[in-house]
Structures are given as C-alpha cells and as structure tokens.
Structure 1
Amino acid sequence: MKNTGIVFPTSALALAALAGCGGGDDNARLELDAKAAEAVCAEMVTQSGLPATTLTTRYVPAGTRRPGTLTTGDFLGGHCVVTGSRDARTGVDGKPYAIGFELSLPDRWNGRFLYLGGGGNDGTLRDTSLSSTISNGTPSPLGQGYAVVSADAGHQGTSASFGADPQARIDHAYNAHDKTAQSAKALIAWRYGKAPNYSYFSGCSGGGRQGMMFSQRFPSYFDGITAGAPAMRVSSGATVAAMWNNRKFTDIAPLGSDGKPVLSQAFSNGDLNLVADAVLAACDAGDGVVDGMVQNTRACRFDPAVLQCAGAKADSCLSAAQVGALKDVFGGPKTSAGQPLYVTQPWDAGIRNAGWRAWTLGSSTTSTPNSAYNTLMLDALRNEFFTPPDPSFDALAFNFDTDPARMQAFSEVYDTYRDDRLSAFKARKGKLMFIHGMSDPIFSADEVVEYYERLAANNGGIAATQDFARTYLVPGMTHCSGGPATDTYDSLQAMVDWVEKGVAPDSIAARASASNAYFPNRTRPLCAYPKFAKYKGAGSIEDAASFSCEAS
C-alpha cells in the first residue's frame, strides 16, 4: 500500500493484502457485479474492523439516483453509502457526542479519494454525491468514480454550543478530521483491497481552514488540497473584524419605531450600487477593458470620499457617516491605540451583491439583526472562540482592547495562519491551491494574499513557491460563490492534472452561470497570483480567449 500516514485496522490491512475474495488478485474487489457489490456493502457493517465505530450502510443501484436533488441529467452509478459514528461519548456538558461521517464508495472506483470540507459551525454531513463548495463547476466526483467522504466535525447540530465541551473543541479543530480520514481510508482499503492511488481534499470557508489544517498537522494524508476562502484566522482575526464591522454599521443605522438601530438600513441597495459603480470607475479599466470586473486587484485604489454628499443625503451620494463607516470597515479593526487586529478588505464591485449584504447588514426590517455577523459569527464567538465560553455576550459590547485576548487560547489550537512554511507538506510533494473571492465579506482576500506572500518569502519566492502552492483570486465573488463573478470552475480537475500529470495550473477556466444576473455565461481565466486576466485588446469581452494572464 501507498504510505499515506494512516494507520489501518489489522482487518483492513489483511483484506488489502489478500484483495478480499480473490487471494492475490488485486482486481477481485474492484470488479464486483451489482449483486456482489450490494452484498459487500452490507458486510461492511460487521466485517470492516474499525475501532469504536458504529456503521450503517445502504446500497444505491446504478441508474436510480442523480447527484444531490437534481431531477435531470446523468444518473449515478451503483454505490455504497456508509454512515459512521465513531468514539461516542458523553461530554462534560452532559450531551452526547460522536464523530460522524458519510462515505460513498462507487462500484466502479477510479482509485481516487476525496474529502469534502465542511463549513460554518459544522455539525452536519455534506451530501457525498455533490462536489466541493469551492468547486461547483465539478461534475459529481462520486459520479466520476471517486470515493467521497464528509464529516460533521465531532458534534451534531449547527449550533456552536458544543464549545462548552473541551473535547468537542479539539474534535472540531482537528481530531474529528484526522479520525474521519483514517476511517475513510481504512474502509476504502477494506472495500477495494487497496489504498487510494491519490487522495484529495477540497473545501471552502471552515472547509478551507480544514484543508490548511491537514497540510500542517497531517501533511502525509493528501496529495492535493484546495482551500477556498480559508478561515485561517477565524477565531482570532476575522471574527474580531465581524464584530468591528457590525459595530461600525450599527452606529450609523437609522432608528426604528422602538428607538433602536435597524442594521439593514445602514445602507440601501441603491447605496451599495453607488459604491460598486464608483469602485469600477476607479479600477475597472486597470485590466485593459471596462467590463464590470476589477481583474487587476493589486492596482486598485479607491476612496469612498468621492461619493460623499455636499449637503443632505441623496440617492446619488452617501452621507459623511456612511463614508466614515466604509473607511473603518475596509480599513480593518483596530485597538484604541490604532493597532491592527486583522487585515484590510479589498474594494470590489461584489459589494452590491445580496451575498455581501447577508453577512454584513442582513435584511431584517426591525432592530433585531439577522446578518451572519450577528447569527453565525456571534454564536461561534460566544460558545467556542471565547475561553471560557460566554453564551450571553452582547456583540455590540465587544472591547477591541481586551476581548481579543479572550480568543487567543483557542486560536492556538484552531487557527492555521501561523505555519507559513509548510515544510513537511512541501517535502512530500503535496500541492495546495487557495481560491478566494475579492468581495468575501467575512474572510478578506487580503488575508490569503498576505499569507501567500509570507509563504513565498519562506520558500524562495513566488516562482519557487508555485511549484507546490498557488493562489487564485476571483473578482466579484462573495463568500465561496456568488456575485458579479465567474464563480463556476472545476478546481478539482485542475488539481488532479497538477498532481497526477504534473500540469501546473497557470490559470483555471471559469465562467459565470447562465443564471448570473450580471453577465451570464461570461468566461474568464482565473490566473495564478500575482498575475491577473488582462484584455488582449481584441475579441469579445465575454470570452476568456480574449484575455491572457499578465503581471501587474
């Protein structure tokens, strides 16, 4: 078997050596007919030999199910869906915990293993018939023959209340993913009589953090890792920024009938369109053509003061308070002494998109805010990122001088921004992709650029670093997908070509979906940083062929 750093159960090793029901025939478990594959699926419950694990299985015959909830398109081939629960226990909070996972094993396996990253507070199992949230242009990997696993990160339910249990925190940070990877590879070895030829990870947001975590804590597990919008400083930086942004926007929001601010009305959609248009006026042409996208991100300079009303607030301009709030938010959170607590945010036209509003301002018409800053991020801060937890903490009471210190203990366990060398992952010839939307309102694209620059400085510069790690910025894209962006691409296949064929992705082919409200079906190359997609001077601006990857 390939050396993957995974310790297989003895039974799985024996089956791998014997290739199951065929003595020394390596293809015996790979070439089962549907009836035999269904029988092996059922046998896995009692015969796989995983420690401290309860399994249930169901066999899905070929031609009976499509990926996810699709009602049209190709059917999936026959496959076994394994649902596992490992290391069940009762937490110090009296609640039941276990490490849950779902693994789909296709009858016609292509020799590859894919781990789908999670997101948010986790607590659910991602449908393993789907592709990664950062690779939504990838046809179902299961349908292509991948063995695919997802995990709930060691707790059940999307609330962050699990943070009351110390072991659940550790499971969420790394242990549940380690155990899931080990379990999945052992089951793959049991089912097919051999370890995967290649192993891949792909995830976005919290899933991007999980990918970075694997590259650092378990560098031998995966040949290729795609980390989209990685939450590398979520428990020490990005959540501080969320509290800062929430405060700045709330401070300027108009008061409702109860005399309290209505956050969603701090900026109207028309106001955000003004900002997006002004950003484009300042920066769009920097890539050689005015096309509604800022490709030359490094050259973009914008000051929202150009939108400030000379007098009273009007539809065509912003108030002085609105301009001030934007400067504060895009400048990043600071202590009272002016010390930065997180990176800046780039100016980009995706600020007009509903995805940006959902995180920052929300849509509530009352003084009870529903932005993700006030729901998801506040929940995580109260229950997991603060040590000890503070379940009733008021978001608007965050003290930027003292409260960040309450987040440092968990940051040491959870965050992934500190290791800017990746020596072991590089030494075993692993490949790493970062993909980040320029209008991400929670994890700033400036953060991944700052990390990548540090990584390059420690690995001989950009050119040398691109041998094992590359970054792709997506203009207009909000968090993981959406926005005035070419946000549909097959990053998994790009990674496979890099790992297995040695074809380094200088660019990734991307398109806007047919339903994109801004420029449907537009195509662009996503260029490896620091290059950007520059117009060649001729050809349709809707066609990627009219652009080439150039340095700023």
Structure 2
Amino acid sequence: MAKINNAFITLASIFALASAAQSCITINDLNVPGAEILNITSILQTNVSAPAPPPDPAYTGISFCDVTIVLTHPGGNDTVTVEIWLPTTGWNSRFQATGGGGFSSGIGSALLGPAVAQGYSAASTDGGNLGFGFQINPEAFDSDYNVIPGIFEDYIYRSVHDMAVVGKAVTEIYYGKAPSFSYWNGCSTGGRQGVNEAQMYPDDFNGIMAAAPVINLGQDVIAFEWPYIVMNNEKTFPSQCVFNTFLNASIAQCDGLDGVKDGLISNIKDCDFDPYSLVGKQVECDGTSNTISHSVATVYRKILEGPRTPSGEQLWYGLELGVRTNDLYTGDANTATSNGTTIAVPFPVTDEWIKYFLKLDPSYDTSTITYAESAELFAQSVNDMVNSSSNNPDLSPFHKAGGKMIVWHGLSDNIAPPGGTLNYRHRVESLMGGTGAVDDFWRLFFVPGISHCGGGYGPVPTDPLAAIVAWVENGTAPDTLAAQFTDPSGAVVNHDICRYPLVSRHDGKGDPKVASSYTCAESF
C-alpha cells in the first residue's frame, strides 16, 4: 500500500498513486532461463531518502515501485535476491544495473537511490550472499568449508546476468515498453562484475562503466595480502605517519613531471623515486621523533614491487608511487598504532579469501605466511581461479554487439594494483588489433592521486556514467573524463583525465585549477 507522507494531496495525485501501487502488485509471470522464481513482492515507496556518494547530499523525495524477486538455480542450493526500483514518474527509458563491493554482489540503496533520482529503473542483487562487505558468510560453506554449490557461481558471474534479465523484464512490465538502453555501473567488485559481463554476456548491456575492476582474482588475492606478508616477514611495521613520509617525498620529487606543481604524480612511468633516499631522515609522528631505517625503506620498496618469490621473481603487481597506504577504505598496507606499538592489519577480504578458499580453514593464522608460502599460495590461487578471474581478453562478442565500455582506475589505488588493469588492457590489445582498435569500444582512464574507487588527493571523475551514455546514444567517444576535487586550501580544482595511453600535461601558463590549462600527451 502506498505511504502518503504529505499533509495535503490532490485527487489527481491519489489516482496516480493508486495506479502506480496497482502496477507494483501485478508484476508476475517472469521467466529467467536456468533459474526458478521463488517469490515476488512489491510495494510503492514514496518520499524516500537515499544516500549519495560523498560529498553529495542524500537524495530526498524519491518515489518508486520497489520489486523484490527471490530465485534459485536447480541443484544449486542457492537463494538469490534481486531488487528493482522503478521511478513512478520521470523514467528516462533507461535501465541501470548496479554492482557490489568486497564479498557483496550488490550494495543496494547506495547506488539505487542516485540511479532512480536520475530517472533510471535500477537493480541490485545480493548474489546469493557469499559474504557481506569485507566479511565472508560462513553459512555459504559446508562443514568441510567447501563453498555450497552454486553460491560461488552466483558471486562470480551468474547473479549479475540474472539481474540483467530480471531487471529489464520487470522494467518492461511496469512501463509497458522495454528500456531503450541498458547500463552497468560499479566499482571494485562492481568493476569486475561489469568487465565480466562484457566477456560472458555481451548482449546484457549497451554500456558498461567499470571502475577499479578486480579482474584478476587469482593474482589479486595474494597481491592484496602482500604488504601484510612483507611487514610480518620483515618484522617491521611502519606507522601510517611514516608511510606518509614516503608518499610526500615521492610527490615532492615527481609532482612536476606533468609541467606543474599541483600535488599529483600524473606521470608514474618517469618517476624514479628511491625509498632508500629517506634512510636516516627524522620524522615527527604524534609527538615522537622517528628515524627512517633501512628496514622501513625495504618494506616500502617491497610493497611497491608487489608479490615476488624468495629468489626475487615478480609474480604480480604492487602499489604505485604516490599511494596513500590507508585512505578512505582500509588499504592493503594498513597498520594500527596503540600505546606506541604498531602492528600490521590485513586487508579483510583477501585475508578471509585465503582462509576459506585456499586453506579451507577459517582459523588459519595468515600472519605466519612466509615469502616461500606466499609464492605457493599465489600458484594455488591462480590455478584455482583460472576460470573465475574475469580476465578473458576476448571482448570481440561485446564489440560485435555494439557495446561500449569505460574503465577508470586510480593510479594511487591502495587496494587493487592499477598494473593489473593495464596488464589486461595489453592482453586485449594484443588479441584485438592494438590500442586504436580497442578504443573503438573500450576506453581506459588512469586517474592520478585517487585511491580505491575514490578518495586520495586528486580530482575524481564526476560523472563517468554520463560519458558512457553519451558514447552509446550519441556516438561521442570520450577522450577525457571530467574530474574535480577540493584541495587543502578549499579551492575547487577541475582537471580532465586523459584516456590511456595519454597523460595530462600542463600548458605552462594557465591556472592549474582549471581543466582547460591541460592537454593530453604521450607517456605510457
């Protein structure tokens, strides 16, 4: 039943609400290939407030038909919930599916609210609940700690495709016509889900916006844990204040490589900062004087290098120069200081992943992992995840279907190494004809100074989804993404992000806070 929160309401409004409420309760007879519908419920939600990504204020006054569908896959012992929000007025004839983060396949109102406020019909899925945020769901495993059949498949690929099928079908039933265009929007796990859709279900979406995609699961599991492994093996635990000394020194050395001193390392390729140059430097942290030691510089260097074998062979990518080791989200190189003692803190998602998926033992002590054992775990992880890492470079079906994709990744990502995304891009280019050919349907943007999915100390893309919409619907392929942030002085900085393989360079004369003062030049 409709919830009427206004003190005064017109007769026409009552009829409109009644009509919308009726359409909510008549959604049925859905067909999802390979799945069985268990339950469908719907309710009219009026004058709802929904969160918005910081720093935007919450969206208020949203009214929508809230449809919840529960389904299962025969023989899978799984239960998947899909929620679709359908705006009662102002539908823009588009459908938007939204992604998850960590172990969550979807994050609900955090993305649904903004989507509906912009006129989209929008969907989210719990993906069978492999986990919630940074925590695994123990109920997704049997007594021997094997994941229950079907739930892992739901998390990796199946639930997103089902959401696309269900979401578009419900949209058509509700409005009496199919959406004109369908889009994906997600970051981190949500970024991986989007890229995986392009690989496995190229007809699901016309446009995909995938940020900081974790598309190399097998490799990334150990890469994310690597800083924790390094600190425990070196028995050296720098505080975040000490880590920031390396950050600030690398910025001071390499900031000007793009032609302007603006606090950003835009050109990491030519930045040759040496962590050992700080050995012996005195640092004031929380009222205490610290001396940067050789062992601290070694920890920082190894974190930047990424996972290696005991003999030094590189296994995967590390974090980049200019990274804030702990910012906005819990970073890979997280430490905590209490009463003068600093300890290493593991990244929760991969710590749980190692325990449940690699060791099959939730009580396993990851702090004991040696360099030799980490190499063995890396090999096991890559082997176990060979069919689940969402990094198949063959995007030709997506290209043939006319799909367009934008991926952006912060160069200062403190969780997912941007090198993994670049590696995938190179593999796609090698298979599909080079940078120009791939740019016809997929454009990649590396964002200086930005941490995982946002935060950091640089301009964040303001509306990359709008860029993919313009590309799909108007043929306007983006050479740049508009980005913005507020600097420490309180000034608003606008700075366009250049598409790979170009980087932003200052023109030598314009206001560094204005986007028009920059051009895109070769670097990578």
* Pair in the same fold by TM > 0.5: yes
Q: What is the rounded CA distance, in whole Å, between the counterparts of 1:488 and 1:66 in structure 2?
A: 24
Of residues 64, 76, 94, the one that matches 1:112 is 94
1:27 maps to what in 2?
none
Of residues 183, 198, 207, the one that matches 1:224 is 207
Going from structure 1 to structure 2, the CA distance change for 1:320 and 1:469 (only over 3 Å counts) comes to: same
2:232 maps to what in 1?
250
Q: Residues 160-239 of structure 1: matches in 2 within 5 Å?
A: 160=136, 161=138, 162-163=140-141, 164-234=147-217, 236-239=218-221
- Greater alpha carbon shift after TM alignment, 466-475 vs 66-75: 66-75
Q: What is the rounded CA distance, in whole Å, between the counterparts of 2:120 and 2:343 in structure 1?
A: 42
Going from structure 1 to structure 2, the CA distance change for 1:59 and 1:233 (only over 3 Å counts) comes to: same
Relative to its length, the structure with more strand (as a share) is 2
Q: 1:141 touches 1:148 (CA, 8 Å); kept in 2? A: yes
- Greater alpha carbon shift after TM alignment, 224-233 vs 331-340: 331-340
Secondary structure at 1:424 match in 2: helix
Give the TM-score of the pair, scaled to structure 1. 0.81
Of residues 14, 39, 47, the one that matches 1:54 is 39
Q: What is the rounded CA distance, in whole Å, between the counterparts of 2:197 and 2:206 in structure 1?
A: 11
Stretches of structure 1 lacking an aligned partner (at least 5 in a row): 1-31, 132-139, 255-265
How many residue pairs get matched?
487
2:484 maps to what in 1?
511
Secondary structure at 1:298 match in 2: coil
Matched to 2:460, the amino acid is: D
Q: 1:128 touches 1:142 (CA, 8 Å); kept in 2? A: no
1:82 maps to what in 2?
67
Please report how far the alpha carbon of residue 468 of structure 1 lies from its aligned counterpart in structure 2 after TM superposition: 0.7
Q: What is the rounded CA distance, in whole Å, between the counterparts of 1:495 and 1:312 in structure 2?
A: 45
Q: What is the rounded CA distance, in whole Å, between the counterparts of 1:185 and 1:433 in structure 2?
A: 22
**What does the per-residue CA deviation read over 1:396-452, in whole Å, with 9 as the maximum and x for residues that have no partner?**
3331332234324541232022x2231101111211111111111221011111221
1:401 maps to what in 2?
375
2:303 maps to what in 1?
329
Secondary structure at 2:49 match in 1: coil
Q: What is the rounded CA distance, in whole Å, between the counterparts of 1:57 and 1:238 in structure 2?
A: 39
Of residues 82, 95, 113, the one that matches 1:101 is 82
Q: Residues 22-421 of structure 1: matches in 2 within 5 Å?
A: 33-44=16-27, 46=28, 51-61=36-46, 64-68=47-51, 75-87=60-72, 97-107=78-88, 108-122=90-104, 125-127=107-109, 130=112, 140-155=114-129, 157-158=131-132, 159-160=135-136, 161=138, 162-163=140-141, 164-234=147-217, 236-253=218-235, 266-309=237-280, 315=289, 318-348=292-322, 350-351=323-324, 354-355=327-328, 358-363=331-336, 365=338, 371-373=345-347, 375-384=348-357, 386=358, 389-398=360-369, 399-417=373-391, 419-421=392-394
Matched to 1:242, the amino acid is: F
Q: 2:30 touches 2:37 (CA, 8 Å); kept in 1? A: no
Matched to 2:204, the amino acid is: Y
Of residues 405, 422, 425, the one that matches 1:432 is 405
Q: What is the rounded CA distance, in whole Å, between the counterparts of 1:312 and 1:472 in structure 2?
A: 35
Over the aligned positions, Cα root-mean-square deviation in angstroms equals: 2.9
Q: Sequence identity, in percent? A: 28
Give the TM-score of the pair, scaled to structure 2. 0.85
Stretches of structure 2 lacking an aligned partner (at least 5 in a row): 1-14, 142-146
Please report how far the alpha carbon of residue 368 of structure 1 lies from its aligned counterpart in structure 2 after TM superposition: 10
Going from structure 1 to structure 2, the CA distance change for 1:368 and 1:105 (only over 3 Å counts) comes to: farther
Please report how far the alpha carbon of residue 72 of structure 1 lies from its aligned counterpart in structure 2 after TM superposition: 6.2
Please report how far the alpha carbon of residue 67 of structure 1 lies from its aligned counterpart in structure 2 after TM superposition: 3.0
Matched to 1:455, the amino acid is: V
Please report how far the alpha carbon of residue 395 of structure 1 lies from its aligned counterpart in structure 2 after TM superposition: 1.1
**What does the per-residue CA deviation read over 1:321-366, in whole Å, with 9 as the maximum and x for residues that have no partner?**
0111111111111123433221243211x42653476442243638
Secondary structure at 2:308 match in 1: coil
1:260 maps to what in 2?
none
